Amino acid sequence: MKRIAIAIALIALLALAAPAAAKPKPKTLYYDGETVAGNELSFALTGKRVSGIEGYVSTTCVSPDGPDMSFMGEFNPPGSFILGKTRKASATEYMSYKGDVTKNYTISIKKKKGRLWIADLHVNYSYEEVVGVSSSELEARFYICQGDDEFRFIV
């Protein structure tokens, strides 16, 4: 009888102690601002992970067959990125008038000083564009594109 009472008390103690031992979830902070070049960028920071990066990066595309182009290209890398680390990611995205394009991203997030962090953003990709040069003639132009920018934030 005494053993049963001790067993019941031990089970009750363990049942109450289990929720107290669980770690609380880290708070998610949402950042929304501008890159060093003045482009929009937002992301979420949960613990030491940056995710949901969405914004624009100044991008330049060059072609041996046509004019160079500079514009604000979309910057939406997949996955999450750890503070203090560099990570590469790739994603196939649809671009209007160009079709599916594989973008290669590199994000490096380093601590500058105190609570200030700097995220170096890089993207590169290439695509082929077919343009009409006359009513009966089409021309294919190959473009190689690269975009670089920087985002600073305080944790």
Check whether 96 has a pLDDT greater than 60: yes
Binned at pLDDT 50, 70 and 90, residue 6 comes out as low
Say what the pLDDT of residue 24 is: 77
* Dihedral angle computed from the Cα positions of residues 124, 125, 130 and 131, in that order, rounded to the nearest 10 degrees: -10
Total number of domains constituting the chain: 1
Look at residue 9 and tell me whether its pLDDT is greater than 90. no
Q: Is the pLDDT of residue 115 over 70?
A: yes
For residue 10, pLDDT beyond 90: no
pLDDT for residue 65: 80
> Is 89 within the bounds of a domain?
yes
Q: Is the pLDDT of residue 118 over 70?
A: yes
Residue 15 lies in a domain: no
Residue ranges making up the domain that contains 36: 24-154
Give the residue from 91, 77, 59 showing the smallest Cα distance to 119. Answer: 77
* End-to-end CA, the chain: 57
Q: What is each CA distance from 72 to 36, 78, 107, in whole angstroms?
A: 13, 19, 18
Query: Is residue 52 included in any domain, yes or no?
Result: yes
Amino acid identity of residue 78, one-letter, is P
Per the domain annotation, does 104 fall within a domain?
yes
Dump pLDDT digits (tens) for 12-42. 656 665 555 566 788 999 999 999 999 999 9
Residue 13 in any domain: the answer is no
CB-CB contact of 31 with 45 (8 Å): yes
C-beta separation of 88 from 120 below 8 A: no
d(CA 23, CA 15): 16
Mean pLDDT of 121-126: 97
- Is the distance from CB of 151 to CB of 50 less than 8 angstroms? no
Let me know if residue 82 belongs to a domain.
Answer: yes
Q: Is residue 41 part of a domain?
A: yes
- What is the pLDDT, as a whole number, of residue 67? 84
Residue-level pLDDT at 11: 67
Does the residue 12 lie in any domain? no
Residues 75 and 121 sit within 8 Å (Cβ to Cβ): yes
